[in-house]
């Protein structure tokens, strides 16, 4: 009987660890590069991904494995997020992952996708990031679809995500600093995770 008190005390700790969710930070265009950094994340349902637009004029736009540089109808699209040189705040977009099957993204600024500016959530051996980026490189700029049929066997029906808020407008007043001291995001939904995100960014 004396053990029952100890056992009860442990349970809330286990429950808390099971429900813990991760906020991933992905920098877009850091150091003036045509990059998502990191280029992939492995995320669980309920995890969030905060995209930080570090420089220049990029987007994070959902596509499909079959057509890496073509926007997916109804998919996530940040729109263009220009950042002035020397800016002390940068825009951000946070999305919530709603599936463990892969999600595919690119930057829709002219030429960037074809130069490899792509991003993936939960890529697999059969649909790898390297395959996706390779297909982006050979994309026909007029269609966004690969010029070869190498990646055309993929189906993309399940590749979609949920934006945690409305699509942010380019005029949103972000207060994020590139070094991550603090940030205010473009929508109320993003504000909800701003505290956690700022801590992890440091």
Ligand X SMILES: *[C@@H]1O[C@H](CO)[C@@H](O)[C@H](O)[C@H]1NC(C)=O
Point out which residues bind ligand X (CB under 6 A).
57, 80, 82, 98-99, 109-110, 114-115, 137, 160-162
> What sign has the CA pseudo-torsion 187, 144, 160, 105?
negative
What does the alpha-carbon distance between residue 121 and residue 49 come to, in Å, rounded to a whole number? 9
107 binds, among Cu ion, ligand X, none (CB under 5 to 8 A by kind): Cu ion
Site for Cu ion in 115-144 (CB under 5 A): 117
| Least distance (Å) between residue 74 CB and ligand X | 7
CB closer to ligand X out of 40 and 109:
109
Structure tokens at 86: 């020397």
Q: Are 200 and 23 in contact (CB under 8 A)?
A: yes
Shortest Å, Cβ 87 to ligand X:
12
3-state secondary structure at position 90? strand
Contact of residue 112 among Cu ion, ligand X, none (CB under 5-8 Å per partner type): Cu ion
Minimum distance, C-beta of residue 154 to ligand X, in the bound complex (Å): 17
> Which of Cu ion, ligand X, none does residue 128 bind to, with CB < 5 to 8 Å depending on kind?
none
How far apart CA 139 and CA 45 sit, in angstroms, is 30
d(CA 157, CA 34): 28
Task: Decide if residue 58 touches Cu ion (CB under 5 A).
Answer: yes
Calculate Rg over the CA atoms of the chain.
Answer: 19
- Minimum Å distance from CB 160 to ligand X? 4
Asked whether the beta carbons of 183 and 92 are under 8 A apart, the reply is yes
- What is d(CA 48, CA 25) in angstroms, rounded to the nearest whole number? 9
CB of 4 to Cu ion, least distance (A): 59
User: Which entry of ligand X, Cu ion, none binds 77, CB below 5 to 8 A by partner kind?
Assistant: none
Q: Quick check: 29 and 82 in contact, CB under 8 A?
A: no
Of 43-51, 54-62, 77-85, 124-132, the window that binds Cu ion (rule: CB under 5 A) is 54-62
Q: Residue 103: which H helix or E strand, with range? A: strand 103-106
Residue 137 interacts with which of ligand X, Cu ion, none, CB < 5 to 8 Å by class: ligand X
Binding site for Cu ion (CB under 5 A): 58, 107, 109, 112, 117
């Amino acid at each position: 009987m004396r053990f029952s008190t100890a056992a009860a005390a442990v349970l809330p700790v286990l429950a808390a660890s099971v429900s813990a969710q991760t906020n991933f930070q992905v920098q877009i265009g850091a150091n003036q590069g045509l990059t998502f950094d990191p280029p992939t994340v492995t995320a669980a349902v309920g995890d969030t991904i905060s995209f930080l637009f570090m420089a220049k004029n990029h987007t994070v736009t959902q596509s499909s494995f079959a057509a890496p540089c073509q926007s997916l109808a109804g998919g996530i699209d940040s729109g263009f997020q220009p950042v002035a040189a020397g800016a002390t705040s940068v825009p951000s977009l946070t999305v919530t992952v709603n599936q463990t099957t892969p999600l595919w993204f690119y930057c829709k600024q002219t030429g960037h996708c074809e130069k490899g500016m792509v991003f993936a959530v939960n890529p697999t051996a059969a649909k790898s990031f390297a395959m996706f980026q390779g297909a982006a490189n050979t994309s026909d700029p007029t269609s966004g679809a690969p010029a070869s049929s190498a990646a055309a066997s993929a189906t993309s029906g399940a590749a979609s995500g949920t934006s945690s808020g409305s699509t942010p407008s380019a005029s949103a007043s972000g207060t994020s600093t590139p070094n991550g001291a603090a940030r205010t995001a473009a929508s109320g939904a993003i504000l909800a995770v701003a505290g956690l995100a700022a801590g992890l960014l440091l």
